[in-house]
Amino acid sequence: MVARVFRELIGQDEVVAILERAVAAASNSEEDSDTQGAMTHAWLFTGPPGSGRSNAAIAFAAALICPENGCGECNSCRTSLRGSHPDVELIRTEGLSIKVDEIRELIVRSAWAPSSGRHRVVVIEDADRLTETAANALLRGIEEPGSYTVWLLCAPSLGDLLPTIRSRCRHLQLRTPPTSALTRMLVEIDGIDEVMANHAAKASQGHVGRARRIATDEQARRFRHQVLQLPLRLTDVGGCMAAAAELIAASQQESAREIAPKDEAELVALQDAWGAGATGRGLASGASKAIKELEKDQKSRATALNRAFLDRSLLDLASFYRDVLLLQSGATVPLVNDDMEDEVLQLAERTTAEATIGRLDAIMAARRALNFNVAPLLALESMMLSIRVG
Amino acid sequence: MRNEPIPNLVLAIGPEPLLADRAIEGILADLRAIDPLTALQSLSASEIDVGEIGEALSPSLFDERRVLVIRDLQDLSADCASEITNYVASPDENITLILVHKGVVKGKALLEAIRKSKPTEIACEAIKKDSEKLEFVRAEFAGHGRKIDAEGARALVDAVGGDIRELAGACSQLINDTNGSINAETVERYHAGRVEATGFKVADAAIDGNLGVALATLRHALATGTDPVLITSALASGIRTIAKVGSVSRNIRASELAGQLGLAPWQIDKARRQLTGWNAASITVAINAVARADGAVKGAESDPIYALERAVMTIVRARS
């Protein structure tokens, strides 16, 4: 019987089994030969984006804290999952990096005794964004943990972390959840109808959050469709240049749509904290500095999110050419973009498999270029022009 | 040495920092001519804590002469402003307070309050236009009792006109190293071959297929401190423009296209002239080369200058 907190981990049966054994071992005060060595103080969750790395880590944290080993219903479980339990510290960054000062403070806090349970759990959601000095600072915390402390790190792959950190953690690899498991999740947990759930599961290519978004958000579906229409428009230089500019603008709009309400809410909360709307002479002194800092953070977050959206659309585009290549090579694997079957077929007949591979290369080159901070418009123009040539 | 008394309250106002610095140096020199031990203290308004100004302006034990400079007055926090207004209401005659303000709208209330105490104002106007730079050069020479003719001034501004500080440095070098009246020939002797270059000039030369000029301008631009990133972005924007303009019919008037392409009419006319020798294939090669160079100058490769030269050469060769 799988504990309730682990049920949302779609298609990760092996990992869930290991975690359950660890939770059982941790809750047994007496050494039990069956679970001996199943628990340790530092874990590393890796897996492709959307496979649920941080969800797995948070569920594990909740199970460790919960007196019932993860019932998913008690106060402790609910607060842990929401990130407000005093003994579960969630380090999330929406900016581009986690700085060393943040980690130094964190290490001090991590050694405090837990307030209720047997553990104090620190979850670092984007351990790949640790700066090198921050990672080295973290090393000390992981190497000499307090007796209650459990570290849970999440990163896309092992290569994203320093070898010194890697070697001090027990590693769990999550896999891309299969389409069938995603579809089942959307139908059973989110109450989406079967056809839409199936479409979203396929289109998301195994990304849980994205599958939900496609299934529930009309605007996201439209954006994806807009991206997938681009390949047919790359007939001349002007079309390529326009397509690049359009993709940048559209993904900016899409990321702004997600982030604007958050920005707004944070600003209002901060202004309240500095006494906006209270009686007296307006904001307390120091408010404008705090607001400036918030705006700086928000800008860095917007940049990161915007990049993520752009990368996402490049992956969508790549999935389109993947489908083209499938048809060209006569493979019988199902298409990712079954809603675009006509367009895929059209391109598969008109072009060669060799050109399709060249186009996929151009898309991957553009993703690398964006990672190197090449001006996005320039990187995409180069990509679109290369796709046109094939 | 001047005859008028040295002011106790000076307001240097305007965006050009060189002129403010000169005013400060001048006043300090005058004061030190009277008392060589005159102390100078400089504060930047954006970093001042409450109380710091009051402390700096409080009377000293031995009544020595002091100069306090507060820069970026427009950034002074409101909490500290009262320390200045209180002081100017009852100034200390041993202190010369020099306030440097960028001349922006910010901090206007404080300016008004200071002006009530009738400070000596020094205008530090921006020197941006060529005519202003020429006038500045003439004034520099005139200030040292020297003369430069119109062509000489022109040549000097062309050679080092980017930054006013550099221009001032070039003037003082010529004043010290030469005798008599200065003309274009003298300037040429000292600044031969140096041309103010920007990424846009590099881009224009490359797009016109002028390899020698493009590479030389690139080196000039880098040597005069142009950021490599600005050069790749200029190259990208140049090629982007011909790509956009090249994909619409030549028969449409530039003024009608301007809105549609997001370009100014003169840019469209210029791109149309540049279009000779460019086609879809060459534009693709050129954009790819610039994208690669942009990655290279941002750390994908170890030698940004080589990457830029390679991009310029690829662009020129792509043109058929």
Answer yes or no: is the ipTM higher than 0.85.
no
Which pLDDT score is estimated for B290?
97
Selected for mutation to probe chain B from A368, A371, A382 (highest B CB count within 10 Å) is: A382
Please report the domains of chain B, with CATH numbers, ordered by start residue.
9-123 (3.40.50.300), 130-195 (1.10.8), 197-318 (1.20.272.10)
B28-39: per-residue pLDDT in tens? Answer: 888 888 888 888
Which pLDDT score is estimated for A245?
93
Instruction: For residue A357, give how far its alpha carbon lies from the nearest alpha carbon of chain B (Å).
Output: 18
Contact B284 A238 (CB under 8 A): no
Residue numbers of A between 272 and 311 with CB closer than 8 Å to B: 285
Contact A385 B79 (CB under 8 A): no
Contact A374 B295 (CB under 8 A): yes
Contact B291 A285 (CB under 8 A): no
Report d(CA A357, CA B10) in Å as an integer.
70
Q: Does residue B156 carry a pLDDT above 90?
A: no
**Among the partner residues A238, A372, A385, nearest to B288 by beta-carbon distance:** A385
Instruction: For residue A26, give how far its alpha carbon lies from the nearest alpha carbon of chain B (Å).
Output: 46
Contact A238 B246 (CB under 8 A): yes
Q: Does residue B12 carry a pLDDT above 60?
A: yes
Residue numbers of A between 177 and 236 with CB closer than 8 Å to B: 236
**Among the partner residues B79, B236, B284, nearest to A375 by beta-carbon distance:** B236
Report d(CA A240, CA A97) in Å as an integer.
33
Confidence class for position B218, pLDDT limits 50, 70, 90 = very high
Instruction: For residue A382, give how far its alpha carbon lies from the nearest alpha carbon of chain B (Å).
Output: 5
Which pLDDT score is estimated for B193?
59
Closest CA to A43 of A213, A195, A172, A173: A172
The more confident residue out of B174 and A246 is: A246
Q: Does residue B288 carry a pLDDT above 80?
A: yes
From first CA to last CA, the distance across chain A in angstroms is 52
Which pLDDT score is estimated for A30?
58
Instruction: For residue A42, give how far its alpha carbon lies from the nearest alpha carbon of chain B (Å).
Output: 34
Chain A CA closest to residue B245: A238
Other C-beta atoms closer than 10 Å to the C-beta of B104 total: 12
B50-99: per-residue pLDDT in tens? Answer: 788 888 888 877 778 888 899 888 888 877 888 888 888 888 888 888 98
Which pLDDT score is estimated for A383?
96
A214-to-A196, A217, A314 alpha-carbon distances in Å:
9, 6, 16
> How does pLDDT run along chain A (390 residues), one tens digit per residue?
577 888 878 888 899 999 999 988 888 765 556 667 788 899 999 998 888 888 899 999 999 988 888 888 888 888 888 888 889 988 887 767 888 888 898 888 888 888 887 889 999 998 988 888 999 999 988 888 888 899 999 999 999 899 999 999 999 999 988 888 889 889 988 888 999 999 999 888 888 888 988 999 999 899 999 999 999 889 899 999 999 999 999 999 988 888 888 888 888 888 888 777 766 666 676 777 788 888 888 888 888 889 888 998 999 999 999 999 999 999 888 888 888 889 999 999 999 999 999 999 999 999 999 989 999 999 999 999 999 987
Residue numbers of B between 78 and 137 with CB closer than 8 Å to A: 78-79
pTM comes to: 0.69
Which pLDDT score is estimated for A95?
67
Which pLDDT score is estimated for B2?
47
**Among the partner residues B78, B79, B298, nearest to A374 by beta-carbon distance:** B298
Closest CA to A90 of A98, A82, A99, A78: A82
Contact B294 A378 (CB under 8 A): yes
Average pLDDT of chain B is 86
Report d(CA A25, CA A33) in Å as an integer.
10
Instruction: For residue A373, give how far its alpha carbon lies from the nearest alpha carbon of chain B (Å).
Output: 7
Please check whether residue B280 is in contact with residue B244, taking contact to mean a CB–CB distance below 8 angstroms. Answer: no
Which pLDDT score is estimated for A242?
92
